[in-house]
């Protein structure tokens, strides 16, 4: 049976339509003119910029001399930089008498846990830091994709990215064993590094001072570096030794970059132990020579003469740490092994991170007894009923490890080496800090003061470097190292990460005795075009982003 035709057939695309009647045309014309008028009115009322910083002394991050000018922002982007921007803006900030710089980039941060506890990252924002890179010293989350997805979902104030850690990769495949990998294990480690890079890591970090990195041969690290190189990554290393073998360790770091085919960086460069002070002359010459040979070798540094890591990692010999905590405790219970461990710890206190005196080892945080925070190893030795000698201090340190370990601060570096490294053109600034819980424990002041301290002490007070060079070391230099093509400079088209501060007032307030003090002098900090520090007051805005290498 034939189907009955529809009374309302569908007109084919492009088919002719009946002409509009005269009245309908008039109505459509009127509506069109009204729409145009409304759009024009809205456009006329909407200012061309969201934010304009006026009358600032712009230090643009390139290292060029400062100049006076205005910076206009629309959305998350700098859209104009000019001697004068007179167009209207939703918000205008008069930066007269202040310095306008790119937001600072911390290429070595331990913010992995703190960012989730304190996503405002106020200790960083008040230093002018707008971007931080996690996963240093060979330790990173795995898988990288899962970590970055978690960061994506977190409302946060700062931008954050990560490295993939060689030590974490090795631990995932081999554990904490001191042995060479099999061919199959080496393939698995390469694959983990490659996956980390595909997931968005900025490069490979190593901590060859730490277990299990300390069990890794140079050739093995080079194989991991090659995997990162294939995806445009960098290599950044906490070297094998920063004391008596520091020169050899710099040579190794350079060799890994050269043979791995990627940029290489000595991180938190320092010279530890009084007998080694002055060796920065040799290490910096190695970097200069490498660069002359065409090897892209660089450095980062924090501006303090004390380091920070756990007491166990700093003072226990690496062989005693193999296999993890249970095996460490078993060795400490063996009288013969304990004597061997003690002898090496005495040497470490005398010649390396102990700086020759137990009082130079200060406990930063002991989760099992917070009352010990701020006490030094000499104090603990006396508390244990012993005279303060190096062997007794080693006994006290072993007791600390047995109880659960503590993070420590180690005063064993020379100011002269610090200044020499800071002056070097291949040195950038990095905190090696994190996001501590305010008021808790006794952390290193670098968590609160690194970038402000450079500006206050080494630029303004001591004039070791210029303001322009300091800003370069904190912004465009690390941005270039990381491949962050849209951050690190005050330029049209760049992301609007900006710090505004009074160069005469900016300073670090945190000290070793009172570390929980925010830096001072920052008046405005902008992240992705949104103000997060306004007139010195923190705002609830959380415009930070998870950053992915190559995206």
User: For 184-206, what is the mean pLDDT?
Assistant: 98
Strands 306-310 and 203-207: unpaired
Is residue 204 scored above 70 in pLDDT? yes
3-state secondary structure of 515: coil
Burial annotation 395-426 (CB, 10 A radius, 16+ → b, else e): bbbbebbeeebbbbbbbbbbeebbebbbebeb
Is residue 10 scored above 90 in pLDDT? no
In this prediction, residue 8 carries a pLDDT of 40
Is residue 42 scored above 50 in pLDDT? no
64-79: pLDDT as tens digits? 999 999 999 999 999 9
- Residues 415 and 305 sit within 8 Å (Cβ to Cβ): yes
pLDDT-derived band at 46 (thresholds 50, 70, 90) equals confident
In this prediction, residue 24 carries a pLDDT of 52
In this prediction, residue 26 carries a pLDDT of 45
Percentage, residues of the chain above pLDDT 90 = 91
User: For 204-211, what is the mean pLDDT?
Assistant: 98
Is residue 32 scored above 70 in pLDDT? no
Average pLDDT, the chain: 93
Is residue 29 scored above 50 in pLDDT? no
Percentage, residues of the chain above pLDDT 70 = 92
In this prediction, residue 413 carries a pLDDT of 98
284-305: pLDDT as tens digits? 999 999 999 999 999 999 999 9
460-516: pLDDT as tens digits? 999 999 999 999 999 999 999 999 999 999 999 999 999 999 999 999 999 999 999
Neighbour tally for 442: CB within 10 Å: 24
List phi, psi (to 5°) of 166: -60, -40
pTM: 0.91
234-252: pLDDT as tens digits? 999 999 999 999 999 999 9
User: For 100-116, what is the mean pLDDT?
Assistant: 97
400-440: pLDDT as tens digits? 999 999 999 999 999 999 999 999 999 999 999 999 999 99
Is residue 15 scored above 50 in pLDDT? no
The neighbouring-strand residues paired with 501 are 99, 522
Q: Where does 103-309+411-486 sit in CATH, by number?
A: 3.20.20.140
Burial annotation 84-116 (CB, 10 A radius, 16+ → b, else e): ebeeebeebbebeebbbbbbbbbbbbbbbebbe
Is residue 1 scored above 80 in pLDDT? no
Is residue 393 scored above 50 in pLDDT? yes
The domain locations on the chain are 103-309+411-486, 323-407
DSSP structural state of residue 84: -
Is residue 156 scored above 80 in pLDDT? yes
User: For 268-291, what is the mean pLDDT?
Assistant: 98
pLDDT-derived band at 372 (thresholds 50, 70, 90) equals very high
The answer to whether the peptide bond before residue 143 is cis (omega within 30 degrees of 0) is: yes
Q: Which of 488, 481, 478, 428 is nearest to 235 (CA)?
A: 481
Extended beta strands in 83-197, E state:
89-94, 99-102, 104-106, 129-134, 159-162, 164-165
In this prediction, residue 34 carries a pLDDT of 47
What does the alpha-carbon distance between residue 81 and residue 30 come to, in Å, rounded to a whole number? 42
In this prediction, residue 79 carries a pLDDT of 98
User: For 127-140, what is the mean pLDDT?
Assistant: 98
* Cα R_g (the chain), whole angstroms: 28
Q: Give the DSSP H or E segment for 33.
A: helix 22-45
314-371: pLDDT as tens digits? 999 999 999 999 999 999 999 999 999 999 999 999 999 999 999 999 999 999 999 9
Structure tokens belonging to residue 161: 């990215």
In this prediction, residue 89 carries a pLDDT of 97
- Residues 314 and 410 sit within 8 Å (Cβ to Cβ): yes
């Amino acid at each position: 049976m034939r189907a009955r035709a529809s009374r309302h057939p569908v007109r084919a695309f492009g088919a002719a339509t009946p002409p509009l009647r005269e009245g309908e045309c008039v109505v459509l014309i009127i509506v069109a003119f009204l729409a145009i008028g409304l759009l024009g009115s809205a456009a006329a009322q909407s200012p061309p910029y969201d934010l304009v910083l006026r009358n600032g002394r712009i230090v643009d991050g390139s290292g060029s001399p400062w100049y006076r000018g205005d910076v206009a922002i629309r959305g998350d982007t700098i859209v104009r930089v000019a001697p004068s921007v007179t167009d209207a803006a939703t918000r205008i900030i008069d930066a007269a008498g202040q310095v306008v710089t790119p937001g600072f980039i911390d290429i070595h941060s331990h913010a992995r846990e703190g960012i989730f506890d304190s996503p405002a990252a106020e200790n960083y924002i008040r230093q002018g830091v707008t971007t931080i890179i996690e996963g240093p010293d060979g330790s990173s989350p795995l898988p990288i994709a899962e970590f970055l997805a978690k960061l994506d979902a977190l409302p946060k104030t700062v931008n954050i990215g990560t490295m993939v850690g060689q030590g974490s990769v090795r631990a995932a495949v081999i554990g904490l064993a001191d042995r060479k990998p099999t061919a199959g294990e080496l393939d698995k480690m390469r694959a983990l590094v490659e996956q980390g890079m595909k997931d968005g890591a900025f490069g490979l970090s190593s901590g060859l001072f730490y277990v299990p990195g300390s069990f890794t041969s140079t050739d093995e690290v080079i194989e991991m570096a090659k995997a990162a190189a294939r995806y445009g990554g960098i290599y950044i290393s906490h070297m094998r030794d920063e004391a008596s073998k520091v020169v050899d360790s710099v040579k190794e770091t350079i060799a890994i970059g050269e043979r791995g085919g990627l940029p290489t960086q000595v991180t938190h460069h320092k010279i530890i132990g009084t007998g080694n002070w002055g060796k920065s002359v040799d290490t910096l010459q190695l970097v200069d020579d490498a660069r002359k040979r065409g090897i892209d070798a660089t450095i980062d540094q924090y501006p303090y003469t004390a380091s920070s890591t756990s007491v166990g990692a700093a003072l226990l010999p690496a062989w005693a740490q193999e296999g993890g905590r249970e095996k460490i405790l078993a060795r400490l219970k063996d009288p013969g092994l304990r004597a061997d461990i003690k002898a090496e710890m005495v040497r470490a206190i005398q010649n390396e991170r102990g700086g020759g005196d137990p009082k130079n080892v200060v406990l930063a945080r002991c989760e099992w007894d917070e009352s010990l925070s701020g006490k030094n190893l000499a104090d603990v030795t006396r508390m244990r009923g012993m005279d303060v000698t190096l062997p007794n201090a080693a006994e006290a340190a072993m007791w600390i490890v047995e109880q659960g370990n503590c993070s420590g601060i180690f005063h064993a570096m020379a100011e002269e080496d610090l200044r020499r490294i800071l002056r070097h053109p291949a040195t950038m600034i990095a905190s090696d800090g994190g996001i501590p819980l305010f008021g808790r424990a006794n952390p290193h002041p670098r968590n609160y003061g690194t970038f402000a301290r450079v500006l206050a002490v080494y630029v303004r007070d001591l004039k070791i470097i210029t303001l322009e060079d300091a800003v370069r070391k904190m912004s465009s230099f690390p941005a270039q190292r990381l491949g962050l093509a849209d951050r690190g400079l005050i330029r049209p088209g760049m992301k609007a990460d900006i710090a505004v501060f009074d160069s005469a007032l900016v300073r670090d307030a945190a000290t070793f005795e009172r570390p929980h003090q925010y830096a001072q002098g920052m008046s405005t900090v902008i992240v992705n075009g949104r103000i997060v520090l306004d007139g010195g007051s923190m705002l609830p805005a959380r415009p930070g982003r998870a950053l992915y290498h190559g995206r």
